[in-house]
Structures are given as C-alpha cells and as structure tokens.
Amino acid sequence: MKLYLDRHTYIETDEPIDLSIAITDDQKGPRAWYLEHPQMLPVMDNGFIGSVALGGVVNFRNINFNPHGHGTHTESHGHITEAILPVSKCFTGYFFHAALITLTPELKNGDWIITKESMQMALPKGDYQALVIRTLPNEASKQSACYSNTNPAYLSTDILELLTKQGILHLLIDLPSVDKEQDGGALAFHHAFWNVPDKPHTNKTITELIYVPNDASDGLYLLELQLSNFTNDAAPSRPLLYKKRKEA
C-alpha cells in the first residue's frame, strides 16, 4: 500500500527492509560482552508442563537474555547514568526521516575506526533525524557473530560534530557498540552523544547490532523504529526502513 509523505513522495508499506537480528535460543544469533547464548526454557512446576512438544497444552517459557548483548537493541542515556531512563520514554513518535550510509573502518594504531572524514563524504544532503550505518565488509556472518574479545570497529568521537550539525536523534549501527570494546570504562562516544553528565539528551537513542542487507542501497528512507516497552535502559528493537519513492 502506498503511504504518501507529501504530494510527490511515498513509501510502500508492504516493502519494509528489516534491520533487526532476532533473539533466539538456537545458538545462531549474535552475542557480545562475554555472554553465553539466550535461554528459553519451558516452565516445569507442580506437574505443569510448559511445552506442547513435551506433553503440555501450551508453550510457556521463561526467557533469559541481555538486550545489550543479544540481538538488535535500542538504548537510552540511562545506559551510562545512575538513574535508568527507560528507553521507551525517549519517543513521542516512531517514524523518522533517515539516511543509510555505508562506511569502511580504517586501521589506526591497531584499531578499526570509523572516521569523521569517511562519514563526511558519505552523508547525503537532506533533512533527516536518523542515521543508519552499514560497515564493510558486510558479511551475513554478522547475524551470528560472537564479538567478545575481538576488538570490533567503533566510531571516532569527532563524528559527533557532524551528527550534531545534521540534527541526528537516532543513531543505528551494525556493530556491538559505538565505543571500543575495552576502553577502561570511558565510553567516550556514548557520553558525548548523550551529553552525559552535563545535560543528558532524553530524546536521543543508539541502536546497535543491526544488519543491513547488501541489496539495500544507500540513500534517504523513512525509518520505523519499533521497540519493546521495557522499563530498562535498553530494549530489543526492530528498525524497519522504507524506501522513499517519487510519483512518476
């Protein structure tokens, strides 16, 4: 179905590009931060069997996972502050004009870093509040990788100048973190993006561990950022991109 954004621009609502990686218990999903795989176990108590396959009448499972280390998730500044701001409180709406860009990290002093210079060349002109970053190489193995102790690529803090100038409120990336895996607890990019501790931005979010299909071209989109209503600094999320089209 066509949904018009203005007189000449529309999206096809039945053609979303799903950027999320599922949280599963089949040991096939991604994980980071030294975690084991999620567990989804049927409740077995006082004769109750929470599994149809095992003879129960319903599937009734307890789920043990960490939103930061298992699958696609969106987080608030409560990730790095004493007071945990529920990420659901960051939103008054869930649709945003967005840009998708593809960047290749550069090797500097033993680290793979996304630089300000590469982002400056990739950012398209236009009015958008969300930025989706796909990094190269973009192998399908990102959807099942174990990132612990691998020192993944991360963002240079001087990128914040570009994001602030563009007015980016929602940053989405296919890495386990915007910061270096082991940085002594500095989390410099997180702090700068949210302006913590001075005056934290309550309307900004970071989404990590997305996966952007290779057939999605760089450019301008409409982003629908769905997330679970967890009372937590982070929640599993499902970002969907819709390609902006022009009426012929």
Q: What is the pLDDT of residues 111-137, one digit of tens each?
A: 999 999 999 999 999 999 999 999 999
CA 125 to CA 166: how far, in whole Å? 9
CA 248 to chain centre: 33
Is the pLDDT assigned to residue 247 strictly greater than 90?
A: no
Mean pLDDT of the region 130-153: 97
**In 3-state terms, what secondary structure has residue 13?**
coil
pLDDT at 17: 98
Is the pLDDT assigned to residue 239 strictly greater than 80?
A: yes
Is the pLDDT assigned to residue 248 strictly greater than 80?
A: no
CATH, range 2-24+67-246: 3.50.30.50
Decide the pairing of beta strands 111-114 and 130-135. Answer: unpaired
Give the confidence band of 218 by pLDDT, cuts at 50, 70, 90: very high
What tokens does 57 get?
């009448």
Assign residue 163 a region (left: φ > 0; alpha: ψ between -120 and 50; beta: otherwise).
Answer: alpha
Alpha helices in 53-145 (DSSP H): 116-122
Give the confidence band of 144 by pLDDT, cuts at 50, 70, 90: very high
201: exposed, middle or buried (Cβ count in 10 Å: 0-12, 13-18, 19+): middle
pLDDT mean across residues, the chain: 96
Mean pLDDT of the region 225-237: 96
